[in-house]
Amino acid sequence: MSCTTLLVGKNASNDHSTMIARTDDGFFDEKKMIVVEPARQPRKYKTVQSHLEIELPDTPMRYTACPSVDPKNGIWAATGINAANVGMTATETITSNPRVLAADPLVEYQKAKSRREKDIPGGIGEEDIVVLVLPYIRSAREGVIRLAELLEKYGTYESNGIAFNDENEVWWLETIGGHHWIARRVPDDACVIHPNQFGTDQFDLEDALGAQKAHMCSKDLREFIAKNHLDLNQNGAFNLRDIFGSHTDMDHIYNTPRAWFMGRYLAPYSHRWEGENAEFTPESDNIPWAIVPDRKVAVEDVKYLLSAHYQGTPFNPYTNQDTGRRGMYRSIGINRTGVTSICQIRSDVPEAVKGLEWICFGSTTFSALLPVYTNVPALPKYLSDVSMQVSTENFYWSSRLLGALADPIYSSCVQEIERYQNAIAVKGRRLVVETDEKIANGADATILKEANEQLCQMAKEQTEKALGKVLLDASKHMKNGYNRADN
């Protein structure tokens, strides 16, 4: 799925939390946010896409998930935080190259050609990964280990990147062909930017095959690279992006510009992003995977980046100036996003409230980000009770409606959209501060369910208010309008 991922190490954030965030950019996929209790977790899982059956452990934990409303194509749980305060976002579709895919082919479902033959199941994929991994891990590192075991046993039918975080660590795993993989721990002082490409650049293979302090990989990765002549590096360099990744014309339109914009925002002074002597341009293949930001990063920064459309540059599709380059690159905040989440694991609060998931439905450019406590048995209907019927009674459809109304009249309504987003950000943070204080003072964790209800009620009020104002503005700009002055 063509998504954008941003990862934040604990020393790169303003509050010493770790954050993993991703826009889930399907094709207008209807999404909801739910809690999956252990009793509802399957013990035998069957994939829809690849017809594969997998036995699951009998000890799942509770976890949040953002599945598709229509289950016909599978669960597609996307992202969540479990009862051990471990977050996961899966998956970021990535690129590869023909040499890799020929050496270790993707494991695709093969339908029987006759009645005498049997179907051959495919591997696991984006549809499945959260459900197969998140309920069973107690650290980000354990997430890498469990997913790696599944990849090696069953394979995958697509190339993907998956992130895990706990209170102290953030890990990123990328699949290589059908069965191989690498994983790297995000440096504590860095942010990782990842837009639909194989992204990992520098990698310590000795650590990955030895102590595994900050790197992990398939046990035969060295031999796999050598046997298939995959290493394109020169002069002793070892850059995985040049071994397993792609450098195509499409990358330069669809992928690298997003990395450029995010890097430009995070480190505007440490690197030169524009002008004749720019280190990196929107079409550079060597934009670093991990960047130390010039200032600490807050949730609001993550939301801004995942809502971005090249504002402040000639590529902004909403600019009124005829730059000749308007809209030439794929925006980060795109129209077809189903859900965006920031899984934040905090370290300066009681255990009961360490996990906070910030949720946003629809196009991030126009939608608001709402904090949600994850240590609860169920979520409010405003998040979880979503059907295929359009309705303003839930956050998903209200957000979709707001974006569709606002986009054609962007210059007219952008100020109202900003007011709306800021109102939910401020009021949401205030409710979190108050709830955190109650828990710190000895309140029982059962108050978190009520806190989520208050957060959702606030979001509903603010969203309906914004919808009304934007609807009026859009109505005034209808093409069949006509004003006649009476003399």
For the segment 402-419, what is each residue's pLDDT rounded down to a tens digit? 999 999 999 999 999 999
- What would the DSSP string read from start to end of 336-393? T--EEEEEEE-SSS-GGGSEEEEEEES-TTT---EEEE-SSS---HHHH---SS--TT
Residue 304, pLDDT > 90, answer yes
Q: Residue type at 217?
A: C
* C-alpha span between 125 and 159 (Å, rounded): 8
- The candidate with the shortest Cα–Cα distance to 397, out of 483, 347, 464, is 464
133: how many CB neighbours lie within 10 A of its CB?
Answer: 26
CATH class as words, domain 4-365: alpha beta
- pLDDT, tens only, 31-77: 999 999 999 999 999 999 999 999 999 999 999 999 999 999 999 99
- pLDDT, tens only, 135-191: 999 999 999 999 999 999 999 999 999 999 999 999 999 999 999 999 999 999 999
Number of residues that this document lists for the chain: 487
* C-alpha span between 336 and 40 (Å, rounded): 30
pLDDT at 124: 98
Of all residues in the chain, what percent carry a pLDDT higher than 90? Answer: 95
Tokens representing 16? Answer: 């010493």
Give the mean pLDDT of the chain.
96
Please report which confidence band the pLDDT of residue 324 belongs to, taking 50, 70 and 90 as the band edges. Answer: confident
* C-alpha span between 112 and 405 (Å, rounded): 47
- The candidate with the shortest Cα–Cα distance to 345, out of 354, 335, 336, 337, is 354
| Contact (CB, 8 A) for 466 and 473 | no
Residue 322, pLDDT > 90, answer no
Tokens representing 169? Answer: 């660590």
| Contact (CB, 8 A) for 8 and 297 | yes
pLDDT at 115: 86
Please report which confidence band the pLDDT of residue 323 belongs to, taking 50, 70 and 90 as the band edges. Answer: confident
- pLDDT, tens only, 191-240: 999 999 999 999 999 999 999 999 999 999 999 999 999 999 999 999 99
Distance of alpha carbon 65 from the chain centroid = 13
Residue 486, pLDDT > 70, answer no
| Residue ranges covered by each domain of the chain | 4-365, 389-478
End-to-end C-alpha distance for the chain, whole angstroms:
59
Please report which confidence band the pLDDT of residue 485 belongs to, taking 50, 70 and 90 as the band edges. Answer: low
pLDDT at 484: 72
Distance of alpha carbon 298 from the chain centroid = 16
Residue 1, pLDDT > 70, answer no
| DSSP secondary structure code for residue 112 in this structure | -
CA angle at 386 for the pair 380 and 387, rounded to the nearest 5°: 155
- The candidate with the shortest Cα–Cα distance to 188, out of 91, 90, 293, 84, is 293
pLDDT at 318: 95
**Residue 299: what are its φ and ψ, rounded to 5°?**
-55, -40
- Give the active site residues: 3
pLDDT at 290: 97
Tokens representing 318? Answer: 């909403």
- pLDDT, tens only, 87-121: 999 989 999 999 999 999 999 999 998 888 899 99
R_g of the chain computed on alpha carbons: 23
pTM: 0.96
> Residue 412: which residues within 8 A CB-CB, separation 6 or more?
473, 477
pLDDT at 145: 98
> Residue 226: which residues within 8 A CB-CB, separation 6 or more?
none
* C-alpha span between 227 and 180 (Å, rounded): 14
